[in-house]
Structure 1
Amino acid sequence: MNKSFLSRVILSSLAFSTLAILPNQAVIAQKNPQKPASFWSNISQLLFSNKPPVKPRKGGSRPIDSICIISPDAPSETRIIWSDRPLFAWQGKARKIQLTDLNNNTVIFSENVENTQQYTYTGEPLQPGQTYKLDIFIGDGPAVLVEFQIMESEERDRITAALKTLENKLQAKKSHHEAIAFAKANYFTKLGLWSDVLQQAYSVQKPSPELDRMLKEIPKQLCTQPKSDRL
């Protein structure tokens, strides 16, 4: 694990243990426990900036160039993900997704996805420290693929405890589900865990108008970035 990344996790977790993170958002949620507040503008600005932190993987030749994998994305280094049941999201029409454990080059999961452009993995929890390959298939033809790694156990456990503390505090204040999802997304943003940020955003079943607009813009904005920014 990259030492600078580990340092950011440790520092952020220590700060979070005192709930120094997100004080303003927590107050808003407390005042309006049954109605999600307008939270997502800062995350939207980062996502749709001139140099977006999410780097989708797009096919380079037809017909696979019609698919753009948004989560997990493909930065210059393998994307590290906290969730052991991550979100898979893409733009374009796909037939099937397939997950391979690269430790033994074994396919561990496959699912038909003809009627969706996102899927939260439902198989056995993925293993900390392990690298996986996601393939998205187009019809009977080739696939677009991206590799990602589940975070090492020590860092993952530290973040899990911090998230639980945050969730318990906001639930005690009867905060709306979207407020809790935003608080987690904002925490992941501070750690640069963008696949986990997106998973929290997509997890809201009845999003507010602001979140709904952001979710609709994600594939439009990220998958039309210049190729030099994407790969």
Structure 2
Amino acid sequence: MRNLLISTLVLSAVASTSLAILPEQVVLAEDTKEPSLLVRAYRNLFNKKEPPIKPRNGGSRPIGSVCMISPDAPSVYRKVWSDRPLFLWQGYASTIAVRHPGSNINLWIHPAVHTQNITYTGEPLQPGQVYNWVVNGGQFVPFQVMDKEGRDRISSELQNIEKQLKSTGANTEAIAIAKANYFAENNLWSDVLQQIYSVPEPSAELTAFREDTLQKLCQPAIANNSE
């Protein structure tokens, strides 16, 4: 079953590299062609009966707070595969940091004034451990790194996806989208976005996916307090 999923992702990634489909702008009839991986990932994130992520009402946040997008805060800890996760938010942040729960000591801290997404660059986070992602020294979201067995299994499957795609001549974006859709199929929301944001020069379609996802999750957008 796993090998079938990987093969499907590889074939779909190759096919979708030439498609100009934006997540919110496509309506697919039952007899039309297979949707692109971007559309499939979007559906996995938002259109399930019980979606892994839920849009937040931006107006309900306290004034000055930040919409912490990834990792987010469901009813239980959000699990992430990556031991160097992406932190993604909307709103003004001077710093972001990682701490152990209940501790005020930063394991890692990074200035964040001129960006709204940063990939963790500290020592690799430990499998199975819970951490707090902290914004501006106070607002935080807990998340948990997947256990070693799960991480190793997924690492092997991602290597297979990348190897097969490279053999077809697929570009960096196609590989990232295939990996993102793999994570979406497994409800690993934060890792989906990490792949989507890993492409240094995204296409118009991928840029639209990013923007649409942010708008879906954090509306109304928070004004930048630095202005």
TM-score (norm 2): 0.79
String of CA shifts for 1:23-62, please: whole Å, max 9, x gaps.
5314427xx6xx6875412223344549653247878433
How has the CA–CA distance of structure 1 residues 15 and 213 changed in structure 2, closer, same or farther, with 3 Å as cutoff? same
Q: CA deviation at 1:75?
A: 1.0
**The structure with more helix, counted as a fraction of residues:** 1
How has the CA–CA distance of structure 1 residues 153 and 195 changed in structure 2, closer, same or farther, with 3 Å as cutoff? same
Contact preservation (8 Å) 1:37, 1:179: no
Contact preservation (8 Å) 1:17, 1:165: no
Q: CA deviation at 1:164?
A: 0.6
Contact preservation (8 Å) 1:28, 1:37: no
- 5 Å-filtered alignment, 1:43-192, equals 43-49=41-47, 52-55=51-54, 60-64=61-65, 67-102=66-101, 106-137=105-136, 143-192=138-187
Gaps of 5+ in 1: 1-13, 226-231
2: CA distance between counterparts of 1:21 and 1:28?
11
Gaps of 5+ in 2: 22-36, 221-227
Correspondence for 1:229: none
Contact preservation (8 Å) 1:55, 1:70: no
Correspondence for 1:24: 11
Sequence identity, in percent? Answer: 43
Correspondence for 2:191: 196
1: CA distance between counterparts of 2:42 and 2:55?
16
Correspondence for 2:217: 222
Contact preservation (8 Å) 2:55, 2:216: no
TM-score (norm 1): 0.78
String of CA shifts for 1:86-105, please: whole Å, max 9, x gaps.
00000111110011023876
Correspondence for 1:10: none
Letter of the 2:40 partner, please give it: N
2: CA distance between counterparts of 1:21 and 1:188?
14
Contact preservation (8 Å) 1:54, 1:70: no
1: CA distance between counterparts of 2:112 and 2:184?
28
Letter of the 2:122 partner, please give it: G
SS of the counterpart of 2:6? coil
2: CA distance between counterparts of 1:28 and 1:207?
17
Q: How many residues align?
A: 202
SS of the counterpart of 1:63? coil
SS of the counterpart of 1:114? coil
> Which of 28, 38, 41 does residue 40 from structure 1 map onto?
38
Q: CA RMSD in A?
A: 2.7
